[in-house]
Amino acid sequence: MADTWVFDFQDGDATDKAALGGKGAALASMTQADLPVPPGFTITTDACRSYQQQSVFPDLMWKQVEEAIGRLEGLTGKEFGSSENPLLVSVRSGSAVSMPGMMDTVLNLGINEQARVGLARVTGDDQFAWDSYRRFVTMFGEIVLGVAPDRFEGAVKATLDMNGCDTPGNLPADALSGLVDRLKAIVYGQSRHEVPDDPFEQLRLTVGAVFDSWSNKRAQDYRNLNGIPHTLGTAVNVQAMVFGNSGPTSGTGVAFTRNPTTGEAHLFGEFLPDAQGEDVVAGMRTPLPIDHMAETFPEAYGQLLEIAGRLETHYGDMQDLEFTVENGKLWMLQTRSGKRTGRAAVKIAVDMAASGLIDERQALQRVSADQLEQLLHPLVDPAVEVEVIGVGLPASPGAVSGQIVLTADAAVDLSEAGTPVILVRHETNPDDFHGMVASRATLTARGGVTSHAAVVARGMGKSCVVGCSNMRVDFEKGLVRFDNVVLAAGDWITVDGNTGRVMAGQVATIEPETDEDFDILMGWADSHRKLGVRANADTPEDASEARRLGAQGIGLCRTEHMFFGEERIAAMREMIMAPNEVARREALAKLEPYQTADFEGIFTAMDGFPVTIRLLDPPLHEFLPNEQDLARELTDLKLRLRLLNGLDDIDRLLEEIHDREVVIAQVQRLAEENPMLGHRGCRLGLTYPEVTEMQARALFTAAVRCVDRGITVMPEVMVPLVGFEPELRTQAELIRSVAEEVFLYHGLRVEFLVGTMVELPRACLRADELATVAEFFSFGTNDLTQMTLGMSRDDSSRFLPGYVQRGVLPADPFQTLDIAGVGELVRIGVERGRGQRADMKIGVCGEHGGDAASIAFCHDVGLDYVSCSTYRVPVARLAAAHAALA
């Protein structure tokens, strides 16, 4: 093995993709199945690896290549450089994983002056021979000798103009002859290298260039970005040319064995008569739908249908085929797994499993989490071209269009009049809540994916893009400025919450749909996965939707979101402005009925499933109006005071000024340098135990009422931001004592758990101590990531995208868990927690709970469940199944 660097297609081990590359393995497989494949051979990835280390071809390799060419000459009856019957070959790179950025294909290699003559003689087509030469010189110059493509353009265009032609393939032979000379001269001028005449020299240089292209910058960057080892190397496939461009009985095409958009089981593809593959790519001629071949190439088409079926059966997956017809004869050039839409992926997987071609497990593995997600939200139609005017963070998925509104009130007014609107703000705060409800989407210039706008939008399942940093809103003039585009209130805009893109105008979208196939696949996922899947849901409506999507409980109910409604926020602010505990308790008493009713609704929706309720978490200032808005109002009021003529309004004005000043003073008192690290979570509960009391009373009262109505409730009370055991112990004691009071009062007991959100590095390190109190853990990986990486999700937009691009980080750590860092803390937390309390129920409730790679980690580390945004529940179910099958 070690000294065999070259395998003929009929000899290679078709299962050894690592050595032959994907393309080489497929060619070997097809050849050995007696499909019509032009003969050829593969130079292995081992040769490439050796070349990478030694900078020269390994010993014997070139000799083996020469021998393989010899065999090829024997098989085809053609000869390299022959003026009688010349052998031309294609040279294609092919690594084990498909990878853009590498040198790809050189066609017609072997052509030179004699071979051109030979080719003209064999085909009887002088023009064709010259055109083949032209194609070779162009590709060799560009790909092997590194000539920039635009260097050729002038010469080509001049020749075309002179001959009144639109494509070089139509030029007459003599024009092509002149063009070939000019192209050769350009190659030499640019690279100081002649295009060699010796076919072996052509081949030697081309193989070296393919090997070199493995380590060019683009390829390296791509591998860094996608975590592909640099040591894989690429194989090189050398194959006898067949010519789809040798006249009207020839052609070339690509075909999918099933429809890659819908998944329907019929051959789907395109065919271009009298053409080589590159002509299809160049797009200068429009190919025909593949079923046209049934009339024009009936025999080849019949054979293609039969081969397509065989290959699909052989590989057990929908195939993407490349083929050429040369003078009526079908030649297969490539087969590989075909890319497909989410809808097609589901249908193909379910159909194939139904027909017994694959089993359930394989069917599950055929559909990726990304593909599944396409089925759940409106997408920008990939077929249309869009002009992106801004890019922000995709905070809540869905692509929607609407007319721009700049205030919450305008959103309500217009939407009530039936106009679809999109709310555009610098950032949102609780005052904008009703405007977000009225809008189809929200777009903000500032903030991250945990900002107010993002969290509220996700809670409502509405599209949202935040942190669109090249956008400025000019409220005075009613304009929204992007880099080169200025839109006005009332203009149409499209917001793509799937990708973060912002587009002017109305862009065509594809509406989501799920069908029976989807339900079947999800059923299989549920039967294979080990991880439970819960939803993060804060309202009864959200809980019902989560249940419909298959959530087995709520892993995170953020109670503070219940305070953002119009009447509630007033009571909440009263609580915050309260000068003492008595006043605070009065305000809390107003909030309690709302919370009780919400909890009752959520418990009812989740009848029979656990509901994890997190106590108040954010710092209190988040519930107060924005300081700058207040200051602006105050300035206006004071100005009015100064300019006042009469005395009628003075009292009212002075009162308004006083009110503002009181609120501003409190806002300033509560202001924090770093609210993420501030007075929040259980720290609030320790400072204001009456808040914890109110929340506990509301939730246990709701639980008791539900039980009374025959509902099965399983509350799990979660104390947030715990770093020290005494914090948790104090809050747990308070919660349990309130529970006893409520149960005693109602004469009814409810089983419940008290646990904690593990979201501080310290909590992971001291999980053993926390586990003496906590009956469950839920890893809050959002905040845990922020703390562990010292990276604010809201503020990282200025550097994080660059980090991911340059490979400092493999992925956005707020989307995909940083397993090496944050993951290690999770692992420590699980070990130490279970070390203290072996049956500890442990879940994850950050955004990562809906991310496939992170779910795989959660499975590996032995968590009981993941909890994610409602809309990602199906994705999580599938990803959990993938993890179990891995």
Which residue in 126, 432, 538, 783 binds its own copies (CB under 8 A)? 783
Which residue in 794, 812, 847, 864 binds its own copies (CB under 8 A)? 794
Residue 490 or 678 with smaller CB distance to its own copies: 678
Helical H segments across 77-145, by residue range? 113-123, 126-139
Pick out residues in 797-816 that bind its own copies (CB under 8 A). Answer: 798-799, 802-803, 806-809
Which residue in 18, 294, 686, 885 binds its own copies (CB under 8 A)? 686
Which residue in 417, 674, 710, 838 binds its own copies (CB under 8 A)? 674
Phi, psi of 800 (to 5 degrees): -65, -45
Binding mask 404-443 for its own copies (x = CB under 8 A): ----------------------------------------
Is residue 217 part of the contact set for its own copies (CB under 8 A)? Answer: no
Residue 600 or 769 with smaller CB distance to its own copies: 769
- As to burial, measured by CB atoms within 10 angstroms (0-12 exposed, 13-18 middle, 19+ buried), residue 480 is buried
Residues labelled as active-site residues: 452, 845
Is residue 672 part of the contact set for its own copies (CB under 8 A)? Answer: yes
Residue 183 or 767 with smaller CB distance to its own copies: 767
Residue 510 CA to residue 525 CA, distance in Å, equals: 26
Pick out residues in 597-616 that bind its own copies (CB under 8 A). Answer: none
SS3 state at 487 = strand
Residue 24 or 447 with smaller CB distance to its own copies: 447
Residue 373 CA to residue 723 CA, distance in Å, equals: 36
Residue 485 or 804 with smaller CB distance to its own copies: 804
Pick out residues in 80-119 that bind its own copies (CB under 8 A). Answer: none
Residue 288 or 676 with smaller CB distance to its own copies: 676
Amino acid at 270: E
Q: HSE on the CB side for 334, CA within 13 Å?
A: 21
CB of residue 870 vs its own copies: minimum separation in angstroms? 25
* Contact present, 234 and 210 (Cβ < 8 Å): yes
Binding mask 634-663 for its own copies (x = CB under 8 A): -x---x------------------------
- As to burial, measured by CB atoms within 10 angstroms (0-12 exposed, 13-18 middle, 19+ buried), residue 224 is middle
- The closest alpha carbon to 447, from 727, 675, 159, 182, belongs to 675
Residue 538 CA to residue 450 CA, distance in Å, equals: 15
Phi, psi of 403 (to 5 degrees): -90, 140
CB of residue 678 vs its own copies: minimum separation in angstroms? 4
Which residue in 296, 762, 775, 811 binds its own copies (CB under 8 A)? 762
- The closest alpha carbon to 375, from 533, 518, 526, 542, belongs to 518
Which residue in 628, 712, 772, 805 binds its own copies (CB under 8 A)? 628
Residue 820 or 886 with smaller CB distance to its own copies: 820
Residue 684 or 881 with smaller CB distance to its own copies: 684
With CB under 8 A, what is the number of residues at the site for its own copies? 55
* Contact present, 724 and 682 (Cβ < 8 Å): no
* Contact present, 81 and 40 (Cβ < 8 Å): no
**Three-state SS sequence of 251-308:** EEEEEECCCCCCCCCCCEEEEEECCCHHHHHHCCCCCEEHHHHHHHCHHHHHHHHHHH
Pick out residues in 815-874 that bind its own copies (CB under 8 A). Answer: 818, 820-822, 824-825
- What residue has token string 């192209």? 183
- The closest alpha carbon to 244, from 179, 300, 200, belongs to 300
Q: What is the DSSP string of 537-556?
A: --SHHHHHHHHHTT--SEEE
Residue 458 or 766 with smaller CB distance to its own copies: 766
Binding mask 220-259 for its own copies (x = CB under 8 A): ----------------------------------------
Is residue 789 part of the contact set for its own copies (CB under 8 A)? Answer: yes
Candidates 37-45, 276-284, 374-382, 720-728 — which segment interacts with its own copies by CB under 8 A?
720-728
Residue 416 CA to residue 258 CA, distance in Å, equals: 46
Binding mask 730-759 for its own copies (x = CB under 8 A): x----------------------------x
Q: Which one-letter DSSP state was computed for residue 678?
A: S
Is residue 781 part of the contact set for its own copies (CB under 8 A)? Answer: no
CB of residue 765 vs its own copies: minimum separation in angstroms? 5
- Tell me the pairing of strands 501-504 and 492-496: antiparallel
Contact footprint for its own copies (CB under 8 A): 447-448, 451, 628, 631, 635, 639, 672-679, 683, 686-687, 721, 723-724, 726-727, 730, 759-762, 765-766, 783, 786-792, 794-796, 798-799, 802-803, 806-809, 818, 820-822, 824-825
